[in-house]
Each structure stands twice: as structure tokens, then as C-alpha cells.
Amino acid sequence: MLEKTINELLDDLYSIRTEVKSLQEQENELKRSQRELEATLMTKLDQQGVDRVGNDVCTVSLKKEIVPTVEDWEAVQRHVRDTGQFELLQKRMSAVAYRELRSMNLDVPGVKATELTRINFRSKQ
């Protein structure tokens, strides 16, 4: 590399950055396709009343979990200040801490429970 001129290094850098950008665009498209496939699969599994399927290459199961959806941040912040339950806060509300409080039958003002369904994927290869 040290024998290359600055111009050659700049050309190489440009080429690599262009390739990285192309790969990122491909990744975004693949992720979009993956989300569509997962949504379709969840719909079909739900229609058939099945929560786990598999074939020779993978197993898929549906996983439901409770996550918080904050409806009133002022109420949540007041609650955190009043109770000292700072474990509830991250950049977003901590789902683990929220589920723990719910399991103890404790309410968090300003938050409603939202159930999400996700795909668990395990490769068999």
C-alpha cells in the first residue's frame, strides 16, 4: 500500500466506499424482503392455529412478549422520580423491568402493555 500514490489510494477508497454503499443497499432490500416473509409466515401460522413449524433447513416459532408503549412521558417521569424506579428508563422504556413490575401487579402510570409477536429462527445447517 505504501507504494501507491495518493491518487491511487483515493481511487481505491472511493471504489471501496461505493461497494460498501451498494452492499448496504442490498442489505436493506434483503431485510425488507425478510420482514415481508416473516409477516406472511406469521399470518399463515395464525390462520392455521400453529405457533411452531419446521422443515429440513430451519425451525420457526412464534414468541409473544409484553413490551411497554408509553402514552404519557410526563406521567412516567413523575413516577420514576417519585418511586426511584430508574431501571425503567433507557433510551426507550426497559421491557424487562416493565414486565417484572407487571408480574408483581404494579402499574406504571402513562404506559399501556402492548403484545408483540416475533419470529424465532434457528438454522439446522
pLDDT in tens, 16-29: 999 999 999 999 99
Query: Nearest CA to 106 among 65, 62, 68?
Result: 68
Whether the predicted model's global pTM rises above the 0.75 cut: no
Q: Over 80: is that where the pLDDT of 48 sits? A: yes
Please choose, from the candidates 113, 72, 70, 106, the residue with its C-alpha nearest in 3D space to the C-alpha of residue 90. 70
Question: Terminus-to-terminus CA distance in the chain, angstroms?
Answer: 39
Rounded Cα distance, 82 and 80, in Å: 6
Q: Could you report the per-residue pLDDT of 50-93, keeping only the tens digit for each?
A: 999 999 999 999 999 999 999 999 999 999 999 999 999 887 88
